[in-house]
Chains A and B, each alone.
Chain A
Amino acid sequence: MTKYALRTAATGVLIIFGAATLVFFIMRLAPGDQAIVLLGPDATAAEVADARARLGLDQPLPVQYWHYLGQLVTLDFGESYRFGQPALDLVLSRLPASVELALAATVVAMLGVVFGALAGAYRGRWIDRGISGLALTLYSMPPFWIGIMLILVMALQLRLLPSAGVGTPAHIVLPALTLAAPFTALLTRITRSSVAETMAEPHVRRAYAKGLSTREVVTGHVVRNAATPVVTVGALHISTLLGGAVIVESVFSWPGLGSLLVTAVSNRDYSIVQAAVLLIAAIVVCCNVAADLIAARLDPRVRLGGAS
């Protein structure tokens, strides 16, 4: 288990390093840089060159990269040229809002596990058809459209909930529902197929042969066995909610990581982009490790290193 943990940690570091390197070079490959954005289109060549020198952009790329790696190790990403604050602080200040939204969406999406388990346990019956059809419909609707529809109906027509911003607990309902919609559908579909597959295993027949009812068989012998793919995909999706809820955060003016990142990219605010991407990569890695550990907890064959 220690060896496994070490290997996982090493892989995680490598992935974070890779993401950080990629974002560095991609940002610099993109046309335009901070100096141009900062000074605007009317600036003279001399002014731009001056700003470049000040920001360290006139140095060769390898030198800039080396400097950047130094920053990575010390977790010092420099200041955002736009906000004049340390980039990491800015990014971290946006994290709680994103976490809050992601957690709320995840709680809602857990319904998908229940629905998926029901559909999988009664595969081919009307309950399965209903749930599967609903999940597919939900999955095929773009989140921003769902968001706008929710705003139209719940906020503008019925005036039940606020349409944007933060403040009261009611503010989180619409963005959380919007974010949860595709996630719920995803969990429903994965749980359904995993449960249906487990239901066909011989040990489930044996559980029936013990005189258990379908409900007892599902809760006692199926759910846990079917959980591994659900946990893996679920954890991966949660990590994308944390960093990548860009559109939903924009639609609802939610002050999270995603909306900060979008602004930073269009402003060529390298410090913020780099800090944010690093943080998101770290979150993705952590979620995956957590998923692996949970899977090991659920399945003793993984935990105890059995062959079969």
Chain B
Amino acid sequence: MTDALLQIEHLSIDLPGPAGPVRVVDDVSFAVAAGRTTGLIGESGSGKTMTATAVIGLLPAGAEVSGSMWWQGEDLVTMAEKDRRRLRGRAIAMIFQDPQSALNPTQTIGRQVGEILRRGGMPKQEVRQKVIDLLDRVGVPDPRTRHAQYPHQYSGGLRQRAMVATALAGSPQLILADEPTTALDVTVQARILALLRRIREEEGMAMLLVSHDLRVMAHVADEVVVMYAGRLCEIGPGREVLSSPAHPYTRALVVSVPAVRSRTAIAEPLPGSPASPADRPSGCPFHPRCAKARAVCRTEVPQMRQVAPGRQVACHFPEET
């Protein structure tokens, strides 16, 4: 992976908990390639959002990070806060899950989209024009009028478009999108996904897309990283991983998605509930829910290993791919 824009190596994150620190991300390594979309898949508690939050450096107070995150020859983990702040919003931007609450209700959309430009010292008239262009590009209708409106005057889908425009304002090389469509109606989801895909292609930037929704991943992710209980399960090209999963957990996720067009293929819900990082099972964290689990799964943590070109999996008994 020589063209990696962001190289995460052995990243571990401990958060303070009521009964001592909890390891919410455990020894995670993967790369985000320039100009491509990497999808981070997992259920709640899998550590996917924490991983993305660590990249932009907004982990909650008291979080302990170890490992490295290489960004253009520098390690984000050891970088000074002052330098990280310079990257934030410019080189690395973030799109949040809920556009309803992630926009400031007391400021106009235009002001929020243009904030980074204004801080960069761009003249007022230029900022206004740039903001209107940005809103136009993300598909906000009539941006000349609507840039002066407030978030509550926008629909959910438009708010998410405005949020995308805010992220684009800093011309980032990497966009972190944390469940960007989860809070939206299904019909709107598809349009926002198409927008993200178009923007990523036009700008040639990289995207780290965090989602629990496999249909979202199937649409946009070039590479996928599957996480469970803070650990890696599987990494590989999106199409291959989702069509022939090597890890039993990925397989379980795939078959749990109901197929809309088919009445015969009934979705199989995944038994049990996601393991909590605070109370992670021994050995392979997925073994209590795994149909193929054997004795070794309970005692030994499976390491990531290559099973096919470009495909890695952490399982003692991976599926044939």
Please give the residue numbers on chain A whose beta carbons come within 8 Å of chain B beta carbons, in ascending order. Answer: 201-203, 205-213, 216, 220-221, 224-225, 298-301, 304, 306-308
Chain B residues near A205 (CB, 8 Å)? 58, 96, 102
| Shortest Cβ gap from B178 to chain A (Å) | 10
The answer to whether the Cβ of B222 comes within 8 Å of any Cβ in the partner chain is no
Chain A residues near B150 (CB, 8 Å)? 300-301, 304, 306
Contact status A225-B104, CB under 8 Å: yes
The answer to whether the Cβ of B7 comes within 8 Å of any Cβ in the partner chain is no
The answer to whether the Cβ of B250 comes within 8 Å of any Cβ in the partner chain is no
| Shortest Cβ gap from B208 to chain A (Å) | 13
Contact status B88-A208, CB under 8 Å: yes
| Shortest Cβ gap from A199 to chain B (Å) | 11
The answer to whether the Cβ of B90 comes within 8 Å of any Cβ in the partner chain is yes
Partner of A301, one of B85, B100, B152: B152
The answer to whether the Cβ of B41 comes within 8 Å of any Cβ in the partner chain is no
Looking across the interface, which residue of chain B has its beta carbon closest to that of A300?
B150
The answer to whether the Cβ of B116 comes within 8 Å of any Cβ in the partner chain is yes
Chain B, 285-307, contact with A by CB distance < 8 Å: what is the 0/1 string? 00000000000000000000000
Contact status B152-A209, CB under 8 Å: no
The answer to whether the Cβ of B72 comes within 8 Å of any Cβ in the partner chain is no
Q: In the complex where A210-B88, A300-B150, A301-B152 touch, is A225 in contact with B105 (Cβ < 8 A)? A: yes
Q: List 27 A-B contacts (CB under 8 A).
A: A202-B96, A202-B97, A202-B98, A203-B101, A205-B58, A206-B94, A207-B104, A208-B58, A209-B56, A209-B88, A209-B96, A210-B88, A210-B116, A211-B87, A211-B88, A212-B85, A213-B85, A225-B104, A225-B105, A299-B106, A300-B105, A300-B150, A301-B105, A304-B153, A306-B152, A306-B153, A308-B100
Partner of B96, one of A206, A212, A307: A206
Chain B residues near A211 (CB, 8 Å)? 85-90, 116, 119, 170
Looking across the interface, which residue of chain B has its beta carbon closest to that of A216?
B119
| Shortest Cβ gap from A210 to chain B (Å) | 4
Contact status B103-A206, CB under 8 Å: yes
Chain B residues near A304 (CB, 8 Å)? 150, 152-153
| Shortest Cβ gap from B200 to chain A (Å) | 18
Within 8 A of A (CB), among B95-131: 96-98, 100-107, 115-116, 119
The answer to whether the Cβ of B93 comes within 8 Å of any Cβ in the partner chain is yes
Within 8 A of A (CB), among B52-83: 56, 58
CA–CA, A225 and B90, complex, Å: 25
| Shortest Cβ gap from A122 to chain B (Å) | 11
| Shortest Cβ gap from B289 to chain A (Å) | 31
Chain B residues near A212 (CB, 8 Å)? 85, 89, 115, 119
Q: In the complex where A304-B153, A307-B152 touch, is A203 in contact with B85 (Cβ < 8 A)? A: no
| Shortest Cβ gap from A126 to chain B (Å) | 14
Contact status A210-B106, CB under 8 Å: no
Contact status B116-A299, CB under 8 Å: no
> 9 tightest CB-CB pairs across the interface, nearest first?
A211-B88, A210-B89, A306-B152, A211-B89, A202-B101, A209-B94, A300-B150, A202-B102, A203-B104
| Shortest Cβ gap from B52 to chain A (Å) | 11
Please give 11 more A-B residue pairs, beta carbons under 8 A apart, in addition to A206-B94, A220-B115: A203-B104, A203-B105, A205-B102, A209-B56, A209-B89, A209-B93, A210-B93, A210-B116, A211-B116, A298-B106, A301-B105
